[in-house]
Amino acid sequence: MVNWRGSFCVPTRIHYGLGSLEVLAQIGIKNALIVSDPFLVKSGMIKNVTEQLDKANISYTIFSDVVPDPTVAVVVSGVAAAQKILPETIIAFGGGSAIDTAKGILYFYACINEEKNEESKPRLIVIPTTSGTGSEVTDFAVITDEKAKAKIPLRDKKLMPNHAILDANLVRSLPPTVTADTGIDVLTHAIEAYVSTLASDFTDALAEKAIRIVFDYLPKSYQNGNDDEARVRMHDASTLAGMAFTHTSLGINHSMAHALGGRFHIPHGRANGILLPYVIDYNSKEEKAAVRYAEISRLLGLNYMSDIYAAKELRNMVIKLKENLEMPSCFKETGIPEADFLASIEALAATAMRDSCTQTNPRVPTQEDLEKLFKK
CB of 213 to ligand NAD, least distance (A): 17
Q: Judged by CB under 6 A, which of 178, 210, 211, 370 binds ligand NAD?
A: 178
- d(CA 122, CA 29) in angstroms, rounded, equals 11
Q: Judged by CB under 6 A, which of 170, 213, 290, 352 binds ligand NAD?
A: 170
- d(CA 246, CA 248) in angstroms, rounded, equals 6
CB-side neighbour CA atoms (13 Å) of 318: 30
Q: Of 185 and 355, which has the nearer Cβ to ligand NAD?
A: 185
Q: Which residue type occupies 319?
A: I
Distances (CA, A) of 376 to 320, 330, 332, 355: 19, 8, 11, 20
Q: Judged by CB under 6 A, which of 32, 41, 110, 142 binds ligand NAD?
A: 142
Q: Under the criterion CB under 6 A, does residue 171 sit at the interface with ligand NAD?
A: yes
Q: Alpha-carbon dihedral of residues 20, 92, 162, 165, nearest 10 degrees? A: 10
Q: Under the criterion CB under 6 A, does residue 133 sit at the interface with ligand NAD?
A: yes
Q: Which residue type occupies 21?
A: L
Q: Judged by CB under 6 A, which of 78, 96, 362, 365 binds ligand NAD?
A: 96
Q: Under the criterion CB under 6 A, does residue 358 sit at the interface with ligand NAD?
A: no
DSSP structural state of residue 21: G
CB of 322 to ligand NAD, least distance (A): 16
Region binding ligand NAD by CB under 6 A among candidate stretches 90-98, 107-115, 206-214, 344-352: 90-98
Binding mask 147-166 vs ligand NAD (x if CB under 6 A, - otherwise)?
A: ----x---------------
DSSP structural state of residue 275: H
**Ranges within 30-49 binding ligand NAD (CB under 6 A):** 37, 39-40
Q: Under the criterion CB under 6 A, does residue 95 sit at the interface with ligand NAD?
A: yes
Residue 375: name the closest of 282, 312, 283 by CA.
282
Is residue 302 within 8 A of residue 312, CB to CB? The reply is no
Q: Judged by CB under 6 A, which of 33, 46, 174, 218 binds ligand NAD?
A: 174
Task: Identify the three-state secondary structure at position 151.
Answer: strand
Distances (CA, A) of 353 to 257, 275, 346, 348, 374: 12, 15, 11, 9, 12
What residues make contact with ligand NAD under the rule CB under 6 A? Answer: 37, 39-40, 68-69, 94-98, 100, 129-130, 132-135, 138, 140-142, 151, 170-171, 173-174, 178, 182, 185, 268-269
